[in-house]
Amino acid sequence: MNGKTPKKLTGWRQIGLLSSIPFILALAPIIGFVIGQFLDKHFRTRPWLSIALLVLGFVAGVRETIKIVKLSQQED
Amino acid sequence: MQQSLPNRDVLDRALRTSWIVAVALAAALAPARPWDAAAILAGQLIAFLHFIFLRKIVKLFTEKRGAGALEVADRSGFAALPFLITAKVLVVYGGMFALLASRRFGYAPLCVGFALPFLTLFLKSIMLAFGAGPASLMRRAKGGIGSVGRAALLVAMLAAISSSAPGRAVAQEHAAGTHAAAEHAKESGAAELPNWLVILHDFNPGNPVISWLEKNQVIVFAWIAGLLFLFVSWLAMRNPKMVPGPFQNAVEWMVESMESVAGDLLGEKHIQRHFPIIGALFFYILTINMLGIIPGMKSATSSLDLTLALALITFLYVQFWGIRNLGILGYIDHLAGQPRDVTGWIMLPVMLPVHVLGELAKPVSLSCRLFGNIFGEDTLIVVFVGATALLLKAGLSLLAVPPMAGITALFMMLQTLTSIVQALIFSLLATVYLYMMLPHEEHGHEESHAEAQATH
């Protein structure tokens, strides 16, 4: 609010941001795979949609990670 | 941009510490169970490689950041990226899978080895946040002899523990052999200390109201925390004064601190509108977490149902504001990765699921983290209380009680810290997700300046 973050709070913010990386990295492919399984069952395309969404999940995880790291290094 | 160097330093130091701990653990375990020792080292190696690859990938993206802070500015070093990501997936995930599939390594020691770097990184960041700044870290890094001495001490302690472990295991087996102890073990298999609802249910097994309450205890404890929260707020603010008394002062201080933390992130304009939900999330989760420290009570956040519900609320709120700020078409455009040229339109079928998956991963990661931490803390305390009970049954009260009580007290202090940190992290991440969704150009002078430069 007053324009300057106290040093301790910057540390907390970075902990919060950086500690979410492992979760995002692990969960994005899993969510992709689960959605893929569901869609495969619907469209009878087993196992292609699961594999495609699994790979896309990896990409999404890495992308979110990069976003988070950038945000954590930003100083305002 | 001072932060980047200390960060790297912290990662280096955390990795080094985790290697020391892993080697010490493995050395202590090696005589009795060589495969478990190897599994710890293998897990540690995998996690180490994970961090090394992650740093390389992240470095590619953040090396030259001058213009748009959130935009990808230059694409010169990106040729190595697919290679790096493929290598990482193959080595880290493939290696983990191979280790798990080989069945020779135990599951638990692998997980211990894998978790060590994460744990040390977390502890180091906390130390950094508490003011053990980069300068002091550097100074201590030079005293190499000291760290070697500490490592030797650790190895000696672990060796002592491991040499006494067989005796203790025999004692535990002996205790578990008796019928009563077996029953106790079955009860503690629920991995929860009994709260007052469970005790009430045990004494009145037939009562339908109590058994209903016992079945829905998460909701009951969430309501208790909510009512407590409301009561404290009402007590503090029922008679507000210009010169506040100590109680009102304390509550105002907490609210104002939280507002300033979230306000730094969101900017002054947005915080007025969004602080009610961010603040409510923080103080509600804090109350719930703290409730679990009182004996006979339970943290409702140790159930995935509640944390998922909280994350779902956050998710819907963020998406609602995204739609409201960008409009329906703008929102879909945002999800599709803002295709403006041919490449953008070609990449659309790939980018749309990637964005949607990224959005979905956020609430799940929020809820899993909160649940995992609080549940882990609760389980840890239960394990130590259960171990104390078993040792008492084996007649080792003098040996068991003083150190166990000390350890449990230590973990309860840690639980207090975890409660605050997790509540803060949950609400701050909700703020970050909101910030990613809100229009950024109004945020600060620097960014709009950078964007103006980028368009020139």
Give tens-digit pLDDT for A34-62: 999 999 999 988 888 888 888 888 888 88
B181 domain-assigned: no
B314-322: Cβ within 8 A, 24+ apart: B314/B281, B314/B363, B314/B366, B314/B430, B314/B433, B315/B359, B315/B362, B315/B363, B317/B277, B317/B430, B317/B434, B318/B430, B318/B433, B318/B434, B318/B437, B319/B359, B319/B437, B321/B274, B321/B434, B321/B437, B321/B438, B322/B437
Residue located via tokens 């130091």: B13
At residue B382, the pLDDT reads 84
> Counting one residue from A and one from B, how many pairs have CB atoms under 8 Å apart?
148
Low-confidence residues of chain B, pLDDT below 70? 1-9, 61-79, 126-191, 440-456
| Interface with chain A: mutation pick from B264, B271, B348, B373, highest number of A CBs within 10 Å | B264
Both structure tokens of B353: 């699921």
Among B136, B167, B198, where does a domain finish? B167
DSSP string over A1-64: --S---HHHHHHHHHHHHHTHHHHHHHHHHHHHHHHHHHHHHHT-TTHHHHHHHHHHHHHHHHH
- Indicate the pLDDT class of residue A20, thresholds 50, 70 and 90: confident
B341 domain-assigned: yes
Alpha-carbon distances, residue B451 vs A53, B117, B128, B334 (angstroms): 34, 38, 32, 18
> Which residues, numbered 362 to 381 in chain B, qualify as contacts with chain A under a Cβ-Cβ cut-off of 8 Å?
362, 364-366, 368-369
CB B46 within 8 A of CB B57: no
Chain A CB contacts of B314 below 8 Å: none
Same domain, B285 and B253: yes
B62 Cβ under 8 Å from any chain A Cβ: yes
- Residue in chain B closest to A15 (alpha carbons) equals B125
Same domain, B336 and B231: yes
Q: Say how many domains are in chain A.
A: 1
Residue located via tokens 């339109």: B345
A51 domain-assigned: yes
Q: CB atoms < 10 A from the CB of B294, how many?
A: 10
Same domain, B217 and B125: no
Phi, psi angles (nearest 5°) of residue B383 = -60, -45
Q: Is the pLDDT of residue A2 over 80?
A: no
Q: How far is A55 from chain B (nearest CA, A)?
A: 9
Chain A CB contacts of B350 below 8 Å: 56, 59
Residue located via tokens 């208790």: B224
The rounded distance, in Å, linking the Cα atoms of B25 and B27 is 5
Chain A CB contacts of B130 below 8 Å: 8, 11
A11 domain-assigned: no
The rounded distance, in Å, linking the Cα atoms of B319 and B337 is 16
B179 domain-assigned: no
B178 domain-assigned: no
Tell me the per-residue pLDDT of B429-456, one tens digit each, with 9 for 90 and over.
898 888 888 876 444 444 444 444 444 4
Asked whether the beta carbons of residue B358 and residue A60 sit closer than 8 angstroms, the reply is yes
At residue B391, the pLDDT reads 79
Same domain, B113 and B245: no
| Interface with chain B: mutation pick from A30, A35, A74, A75, highest number of B CBs within 10 Å | A74
Residue B86, domain extent:
4-65+73-167
B177 domain-assigned: no
Chain A CB contacts of B261 below 8 Å: 5, 9, 12-13
Query: Residue type at B248?
Result: Q
Cα of B138 vs its chain's centroid, Å: 27
User: What's the burial of B36, exposed, middle or buried (CB within 10 Å: 0-12/13-18/19+)?
Assistant: buried
Same domain, B141 and B220: no
Q: Say how many domains are in chain B.
A: 2
> Which residues, numbered 243 to 302 in chain B, qualify as contacts with chain A under a Cβ-Cβ cut-off of 8 Å?
259-261, 263-265, 268, 271
Give the pTM.
0.62
Helix axes A48-73, A7-19, angle to 10 degrees: 170
CB B105 within 8 A of CB B111: no
The rounded distance, in Å, linking the Cα atoms of B107 and B100 is 7
- What radius of gyration do chain A's Cα atoms show? 18
Measure the CA dihedral B128/B131/B132/B136, to 10°.
130
Same domain, B407 and B266: yes
The rounded distance, in Å, linking the Cα atoms of B336 and B357 is 12
Same domain, B229 and B364: yes
Q: How far is B146 from chain A (nearest CA, A)?
A: 27
Spatial CA neighbour of B311 closest among B363, B260, B360, B355: B363
| Interface with chain B: mutation pick from A2, A21, A31, A68, highest number of B CBs within 10 Å | A31
Same domain, B283 and B145: no
B130 Cβ under 8 Å from any chain A Cβ: yes
Both structure tokens of B227: 């009512």
The rounded distance, in Å, linking the Cα atoms of B106 and A64 is 32
Query: Residue type at B167?
Result: G
SS3 per-residue string spanning B306-335: HHHHHHHHHHHHHHHHHHHHHHHHHHHHHH
At residue A13, the pLDDT reads 67
At residue B138, the pLDDT reads 42
Find the CB nearest B58 among A8, A53, A69. A69
Asked whether the beta carbons of residue A15 and residue B443 sit closer than 8 angstroms, the reply is no
Same domain, B239 and B163: no
A47 Cβ under 8 Å from any chain B Cβ: no
Find the CB nearest A16 among B85, B424, B444. B424
Same domain, B217 and B267: yes
At residue B439, the pLDDT reads 73
The rounded distance, in Å, linking the Cα atoms of B248 and B256 is 12
Residue A58, domain extent:
22-73
B125 Cβ under 8 Å from any chain A Cβ: yes
Spatial CA neighbour of B315 closest among B437, B442, B443: B437
Same domain, B221 and B147: no
Measure the CA dihedral B297/B301/B305/B309, to 10°.
130
Same domain, B286 and B396: yes
Q: ipTM surpassing 0.85, yes or no?
A: no
Find the CB nearest A57 among B131, B357, B428. B357
Spatial CA neighbour of B334 closest among B159, B324, B342: B324
B129 Cβ under 8 Å from any chain A Cβ: yes
Helix axes B196-203, B208-215, angle to 10 degrees: 150
